[in-house]
Amino acid sequence: MSKVEYPRLAEAISRRTLPNGLEVIVVHKPFHAKHYAFFATCYGGLDMRFKLNGQWHDTPAGIAHFLEHKMFDMEDGSATRTLAENGASENAFTANDMTAYYFECTENFYDSLGVLLKFVSTPYFTQESVDKEQGIIAQEIRMSDDDPEWRNYLNIVRCLYRDHPARTTVAGTVESIAQITPQTLYDCHKAFYTPSNMILVCIGSMELDKVCAIAEEILPGESGETIERSYGEIEDLTPAVKEMEEEMEIAAPMFLTGYKCAVAPMNELLRANIIGSMACDVLFGDSSPLYNRLYEEGHINGSLGGSFELIPGAAFLYVGGDARDPHYVSGEIAKEAARLAAEGIDENFYRQIRRATYGQMIRELNSFEDIAISLADGHFRGFDYYSFPEIFDGISKSDIEEFLRSNIIPEHSAISIIYPSEHGKET
C-alpha cells in the first residue's frame, strides 16, 4: 500500500486497483467528524448509444438516471433502511458522464459501506416498481420545467449542438422514460456497473485495507467487457441555431450566450479545464473590466456568471444572467473577447487572475463531494486531479489568449433568452 502525500495541498491519499479492476481511493481527513463514501460508474446521461456483444444499441433518453433511482431497490427492501438505522444519509446523482452513489455518516462507516456496495451491484427491477418510478421521475422533470435557469441552460446547449446527445436532458422526457422496461435496466446495469468501469472514493479516517476487503467480499471477482460508446461525429464549431427564445413566469429577462469550443485531446483535459476556467475569469469574472463596467452602468446585476464545460465529445463556454437588454450584454461580451484577442491580456491583470485561480482550486478541497467527483472524473478520463498545481504552473498568459482567439468568436456563438410571460403582450 502506498500513501501519497501532496505537500502543496496538505492532502494525502492511498489507492489500489483491485484484481477485478475496481479503483479504490482513500483520502485521509483525520480531523473531520464525518466519513464519506462515493461509488461511481463511468456511465451517464450521454451514454445512450453503445456496443454490447458486437451490436450497437440505442437506449431511451433518461435511462442512466432512471437506473440510478431504481438501484436503491433491493428484493427485501432493506438497503436504505439499514443505512437509515446506521445514521447514514445517502443520495445519488446522474451527470452527463457519471452516475454516483454516496453517503455521509458519523458512525458505523464500514457497515454502511457494505450496504452501499451491495445495493449498487445488485440489480432488482420489477414491472410494478418501474411503473411507479415513472410517476416520481415525471414530477422531477416537471420541477425542472419550471426552473428558468435550467431551461436557459438546456436551450443554449440545443442552440449550439445539432446532434450531440447533450441536447437531451439527463432525466429524459416523460415520453422517453415511458419506453424503459425492467429488461433495458438489467442490460444497462450489466454493461456499465462492472468493477473496471467504476471507482470507490472514501474520505475521512478509514483504512484502505479494510475498505478493499469489504469491496472484494461484496463485488464480483471479475469484470465485464469494456463498452464502446458513441456520441456521434465531433461537430464543427458552427452552432445549430443562433438564437432561441422562450417565455416563463419570471421577473426580468434572463439570457445565456454560448460559444462552441474545440474538444481537447484526452491527455490534456485537466489543463484544458483550467485554461477554460481562467478564460472565463479574464473575460467576465467579478474582477474583470467588462463585468465592472456593465455592473456600474446598470446593464447587469450580480447574477452574471458562466463556466467552461468539457463533456465527452463536446466543449463549450457559456455566460449569462439577468439583463434588461440581453443582446447588448452578449454583444459587449463578444467585443471584449475580440479586444482581448487583439490586444492581449494586461500583464498585471493576468497575475491577479492567476492568484485567484490558484486560491479557488485549493478552496475546492474543502468539499468532500467536489474532491470525490474530481478524483473519479480524473480516473475515468485519465488524469490525476491532485496534480493540478503542477499543471497550473505550466499555463501561461498566451495559452489563455490563444483559447480566446480561437474559440470565443462570433461564428461559434449562440444566445438563448427567457422573457417574462407578459413580454409578448407588451411588444
Query: In the complex, which residues of this chain contact other proteins (CB under 8 A)?
Result: 8-10, 29, 31-34, 80-81, 83-90, 104-107, 132-133, 135-137, 139-140, 142-143, 145-149, 248-252, 286-287, 289, 292, 295-296, 298, 301-302, 322, 352-353, 355-360, 362-363, 365-366, 421
- The count of other CB atoms within 10 Å of the CB of residue 305 is 15
Please name which of 94, 97, 44, 104 lies closest in space to residue 377, comparing C-alpha atoms.
97
Residues 6+ apart with CB under 8 A from 196: 20, 21, 22, 223, 224, 226
Please list the residues that pair with 323 across neighbouring strands.
300
Nearer to other proteins by C-beta: 236 or 249? 249
Least distance to other proteins, CB of residue 363, Å: 6
Nearer to other proteins by C-beta: 12 or 250? 250
Nearer to other proteins by C-beta: 140 or 228? 140
Least distance to other proteins, CB of residue 107, Å: 7
- Element of type H or E holding 243: strand 243-248
Least distance to other proteins, CB of residue 168, Å: 18
Q: How far apart are CA 264 and CA 258, in angstroms?
A: 17
DSSP single-letter state for residue 365: G
Q: Backbone phi, then psi, for 337, in 5-degree steps?
A: -60, -40
Least distance to other proteins, CB of residue 93, Å: 14
Map grid coordinates 456563438 to a residue. Answer: 413
Least distance to other proteins, CB of residue 32, Å: 5
Nearer to other proteins by C-beta: 135 or 394? 135
DSSP secondary structure letters along 183-231: HHHHHHHHHH-SGGGEEEEEEES--HHHHHHHHHHHS-SS--PPPEEE-
Least distance to other proteins, CB of residue 161, Å: 24
Least distance to other proteins, CB of residue 350, Å: 11
Nearer to other proteins by C-beta: 10 or 266? 10
Residues 6+ apart with CB under 8 A from 317: 258, 259, 261, 276, 279, 280, 306, 307, 308, 309, 407, 408
Nearer to other proteins by C-beta: 107 or 222? 107
- Region class of 119: left (phi > 0), else alpha (psi between -120 and 50), else beta: alpha
Q: Are 220 and 195 in contact (CB under 8 A)?
A: yes
Nearer to other proteins by C-beta: 130 or 311? 130
Least distance to other proteins, CB of residue 126, Å: 14
Nearer to other proteins by C-beta: 47 or 281? 281
